[in-house]
Chain A
Amino acid sequence: KAGVTQTPRYLIKTRGQQVTLSCSPISGHRSVSWYQQTPGQGLQFLFEYFSETQRNKGNFPGRFSGRQFSNSRSEMNVSTLELGDSALYLCASSLDSGTTLYEQYFGPGTRLTVT
Chain B
Amino acid sequence: QKEVEQDPGPLSVPEGAIVSLNCTYSNSAFQYFMWYRQYSRKGPELLMYTYSSGNKEDGRFTAQVDKSSKYISLFIRDSQPSDSATYLCAMSAGNFNKFYFGSGTKLNVKP
Contacts and interface: CB of A to CB of B under 8 A. Distances in A.
A binds B: yes
Interface of A: 4, 31, 33, 35, 42-45, 48, 50, 55-56, 58, 90, 92, 94, 96, 102-109
A48 B98 contact: yes
Interface stretch (B9-17, B43-51, B67-75): B43-51
Contacts of A56: 95-98
Given A42-B101, A42-B102, A103 B96 contact: no
B99 interface: yes
Contacts of A33: 97, 99
A43 B92 CA distance: 14
A106 B97 contact: no
B46 A105 contact: yes
B25 to A, nearest CB: 14
Interface of B: 32, 34, 36, 41-46, 49, 88, 90, 92, 95-104
B104 A102 contact: no
Contact of A102 (B49, B88, B101, B103): B49
B99 A45 contact: yes
Given A102-B32, A102-B97, A109 B49 contact: no
B103 A90 contact: no
A97 B105 CA distance: 30
Nearest to B33: A102
Contacts of A45: 98-101
